[in-house]
Structure 1
Amino acid sequence: MDAFDTLRIASSSLGMHQTWLDSLANNIANVNTVVPTSETAFQTQLPIVRAVPGGGVEVTGLALGDPEGRLVSDPSNPMADADGYVRAPEDDLGTQMTQLIMAQRGFQASVQVTKDAQENYRSALEIGRR
């Protein structure tokens, strides 16, 4: 594997992690979004990723959470049904924050691999100039 392969693989990882971070940002922004029980809940998003032959990954789509979500008792909410329930997304903030930490760490690792590969390539060029 040469430096260009490493850069290509790290770049695909950066793209995947950026998509994951974007979907998590959307999920976190909507974690407290409630709707009447007659409507579908906000559907959390999770990237679907596959390995690319020869190295790397690609996002092939987004998996959506359960449109049923979960019922939350909130009788004071103006959208509550006759029994005092509203519909909320299936995931909670804790789940989304845990995934956010994993996505951030993966992104940071990919950045470091990219920096290391660039430095190795730069060093090889310097050796070639001597």
Structure 2
Amino acid sequence: MSMFKVFDVAGSGMAAQSLRLNTVASNLANADSVSGTAEGAYRAKEPLFAAVQRSLGGAKEAGGDGAVGVQVQGITESQADVQAHYEPGNPMADADGYVYGSNVNPIDELVNMISASRSYQNNVEAMNTAKQLMIKTLDLGK
């Protein structure tokens, strides 16, 4: 595997963690939103990732080399119950006086944010280390 493919692998990891950070931001922005129906309430979202083996330059058996990367499989919604609050004065309240809040847990989202941020930083560090190794290798030829 070429040393340059390290950048592809780390880049796919950075893109995945960037999507994860954006999803966390969306969840936190909607944590206090309410709806007039349980079905209309915001549900926490989370990206689903998979490690994939990509064949680059042909099949691996035919001499092509593969690189492992991260692929986004989709975005899932939490199936946890939404919270019903009795607020008859709220304009969003249903006929019984209930409004339905999101099922976002802010503490879980903050943990996800820290984890995604550190994973992103690790991928940046992998890229920087690969770059430094390549520069030192080139310096050997001087």
Q: Is the 8 A contact 2:42 2:102 kept in 1?
A: yes
- Checking the alignment, whether the CA contact within 8 Å between 1:41 and 1:68 is kept in structure 2 is no
In the other structure, the counterpart of 1:109 is: 122
- Check 1:16–1:71 CA distance in 2 against 1; reply closer, same or farther (3 A cut): same
Give, in angstroms, the shift of residue 72 of structure 1.
2.9
Decide whether aligned partners of structure 1 residues 57 and 38 sit closer, same or farther in structure 2, where only a CA change above 3 A counts.
closer
1:24 is aligned to: 24
CA contact (8 A) 1:44 1:89 kept: yes
Structure 1 or 2: more strand by fraction:
2
Aligned to 1:94: 107
CA 1:57–1:80: 2 relative to 1, 3 Å? same
| CA deviation after TM superposition for structure 1 residue 32, in Å | 0.6
Query: What percent of counterpart residues are identical?
Result: 30
Structure 2 letter corresponding to 1:6: V
Tell me, which stretches of 5 or more residues in structure 2 are unaligned? 54-66
> What whole-Å deviation, never above 9, does each CA across 1:33-79 have from its counterpart, x for those lacking one?
11113652112221111111141211121112238622234444332
Q: State whether residues 28 and 104 of structure 2, in contact with CA within 8 Å, keep that contact through their aligned partners in structure 1.
A: no
Question: Which stretch shifts more, 74-83 or 42-51?
Answer: 74-83
Structure 1 pair 7/89, CA: closer, same or farther in 2 (3 Å)? same
TM-score (norm 1): 0.86
Q: For 2:6 and 2:15, how far apart are their aligned partners in 1?
A: 14
Alignment of 1:70-89 (within 5 A): 70-89=83-102
